[in-house]
Structure 1
Amino acid sequence: MNLRWALLWLAIVLTGCQSPQNRLVAEGYPPAFAAGFQDGCGSGKEAAGAFTGQFQKDVPRYLKDKLYAEGWNDGFRQCQAMADRRDRLDPGQVWNDRDRDWEREKTRSAAKAYRPD
C-alpha cells in the first residue's frame, strides 16, 4: 500500500515539474508553437512588471516560423493578462523597499488619523 502512495506522489510531483512547453507538446500542440508560447509567456510576465528576467524572443525564428510566432503572441497575451490580473487582486503586494516604506507610512498615517484624541 505504501508503494502505491509513493508512486502516486512521484507521478504528481513529476507532472508538476513539467515545463509549459513540454505540457503543450503532450497536449498535442506543435513543438514550434509550444516553444513560442513558453518564450512569449515569460516575456508577457516581464512586460506586466513581474521582473522575472525571462524576456525571450527568437526574432529570426519569429519572423520565419508562423507557428512559433503564433505561440509567442498567444503566450505573451495570456501570461501578461494573468500577471496584470494577479496585481489587481493583490493590491498590498510590495515590489521593493521604497514601496514597503510607503505602505508602512500610509498605515501609520491612517492609524493616527483614526485614533481618537
Structure 2
Amino acid sequence: MNSAKWLVLSMMFVGPLFGCASTTRFETLQSLGFEREYLDGYQDGCFSRTEGGNTHLNDYRQDYERMLKDVRYNNGWNDGYRQCMASNQRLY
C-alpha cells in the first residue's frame, strides 16, 4: 500500500478521535442541557474577557437590560467571564 493511501486511511480512523477531544466549554454546557439564556450570557462573558485581554477594540459584549432582567443570562455572563479569565491567565 503506498504512503498516500495509508495516510488517508489513518486520517479516517484517527481523525474522529481527536475531534471528540476538542469540545469547547460552550459545547459541553450545551450538551449538559443549560438553557439558551445562560449560554448566551456565557458566550458574551467569555468573549468580553478574551477580547478585552487581547485588544481594546471590541472590549465588552454585554446586554445590559438582559443582565438586569434575566438571572440566567446574568449568571452565564459572570461564569463565562470568570472561566475565560482563568483559562487565559497569560494575558493578565
TM-score range for the pair, normalised by the shorter chain length: 0.5 to 0.7
Shift of 1:73: 0.6
What amino acid is aligned across from residue 54 of structure 2 in structure 1? Answer: A
Q: 1:24 to 1:54 in 2, by over 3 A?
A: farther
CA deviations over 1:71-104 (Å, ceiling 9, x no partner): 1011112212332x2146xxxxxxxxxxxxxxxx
Structure 2 counterparts to residues 1-117 of structure 1, below 5 A: 2=9, 6=12, 8-10=14-16, 12-13=18-19, 16=22, 20-47=25-52, 49-51=53-55, 53=58, 55-83=60-88, 85-87=89-91
Shift of 1:12: 3.5
Greater Cα shift, 62-71 or 21-30: 21-30
Tell me how many residue pairs correspond in the alignment.
83
5-14 or 56-65: which moved more?
Answer: 5-14
SS at match of 1:9: helix
- Per the TM alignment, residue 13 of structure 1 is displaced from its structure 2 partner at its CA by 3.3
How high is the TM-score relative to the length of structure 2? 0.64
Offset at residue 11 of structure 1 (A): 6.0
Gaps of 5+ in 1: 89-117
Where relative contact order (Cα < 8 A, 6+ residues apart) is larger, the structure is 2
Structure 2 portions without partners, runs of 5+: 1-8
Structure with greater Cα Rg = 1
Runs of 4+ in 1 over 6 A off after TM superposition: none
**How far apart are 1:19 and its partner, in Å?**
5.8
Deviations 1:9-65 (A, max 9, x none): 14643763x664333111232222121111101111233x22283631122222211
Identity %: 31
